[in-house]
Amino acid sequence: MIHFTHHSLTGPLCRLFYDLSPASGFEFLKKALLTITVLFIWVCSAYAEEEMLNDDQAREQCFKGKTIYCIALGIKEEKAEHPERALELYRYACKNHRTPGHLRACTPLLNLAWKMNRLEEEVAPLENRCKEGNPVTCFYLGQEYLKLVQMEAAARHLEPLCRNHFRPPDPANYGPCYHLAKGFEQTGQWNRARDLFQFDCERNAEHAQHSCTALKELARMEQVHRQLAQKGIRGIEPVEFVLLFVVFMSVLNVWIWFKGGRRGLIYLVWVAPVVVGSSAVTWIYWPDKLEYPASQWTVIYFALLQVTGTAVFAYRALYPPHVSR
């Protein structure tokens, strides 16, 4: 049987976890609350009503142009270790999607073809469409090559689009300059990454804010590497001491919970939230700070969650509901 749920929050959820580094503490708290809300809705959606089709019905829907059924059947065949059958279904989905230009239906085909060492054969129709002057197809192929870490193939498609001011159909997409530069950065080609970030930022800083931010971060990384090469391991920045203090206090609070007795519980209720909370606020609003990586925001988020939960449990241990103060 093929199962489809009507609620699909996977894409937005992944985007929320991918970008957990907002520009301000207020935005960070909003994003944390939104993440928890989406998780709750996602779990609840598991109980939504399902549409169930047998394989023959799903195949019929596939050949009618509903390519989601082709992809679902292809996934099933791939799991059953029938790659040729899966490839055929994915190929049909890619060629016959009812919405022109909706190229994401081709992604399963390219992924499986890459695993089977048949990418060149399967990507040929899309490459021809790109050569005929379809920039959207070129942009899609460039992004797919980036996922496969085929940097020269990605550059062949994305760099001309970048230089010719191509704007993706999706206004939320950061564009070819940013994506290709990020690919260069992640593969250690920092000079090429810097050139593209700088070109995108100088051309239109308002629409290329992410490239401008990435350019600053890349400059910071290069400076750190130069310092490491000249002086060895760099010293810890003052703001990083604040982060380490938050982590230390979070660990200490756990120890106090188990070993601190009644005085420890009082500390956890009235003192620990103030200490950790004020330290977190100091870290968030530290003056002249560089952009924090997402991992550090995650540490702060879980530290605040931990100190809040510990305070609640400590309060209940001190003042049980049936005991009057």
CA distance 190 to 168: 24
More confident residue, 257 or 8: 257
One-character DSSP codes across 85-140: HHHHHHHHHHHH-SSTT-GGGGHHHHHHHHHTT-HHHHHHHHHHHHHTT-HHHHHH
| Res 162: pLDDT | 92
- Given this model, what pLDDT does residue 177 score? 93
What average pLDDT does the segment 2-8 reach?
Answer: 47
Is 270's pLDDT higher than 80? yes
Higher pLDDT among residues 39 and 69, named by residue: 69
Say what the pLDDT of residue 12 is. 44
Mean per-residue pLDDT for 189-195? Answer: 92
Half-sphere exposure (Cβ direction) of 180: Cα atoms closer than 13 Å: 29
Average pLDDT across the chain, whole number: 80
d(CA 19, CA 303) in angstroms, rounded, equals 19
pLDDT at residue 208, rounded to an integer: 83
Can you give the pLDDT at residue 40? Answer: 53
Residues 216-247 pLDDT 10s: 999 888 888 777 766 555 556 777 888 889 89
Amino acid in position 27: E
The kind and range of the H/E element at 51 are strand 50-53
Q: What is the pLDDT of residue 182?
A: 93
Position 175, amino acid: G
Q: What is the pLDDT of residue 229?
A: 67
pLDDT at site 35: 61
pLDDT one-digit tens code per residue, 58-69: 888 887 778 888
Give the mean pLDDT of 254-282: 89
Confidence category of residue 14, pLDDT binned at 50, 70, 90: very low
User: Is 69 within 8 Å of 58 (Cβ atoms)?
Assistant: yes
**pLDDT tens for residues 123-158?**
999 999 999 989 999 999 999 999 999 999 999 999
Enter the pTM of the model.
Answer: 0.55
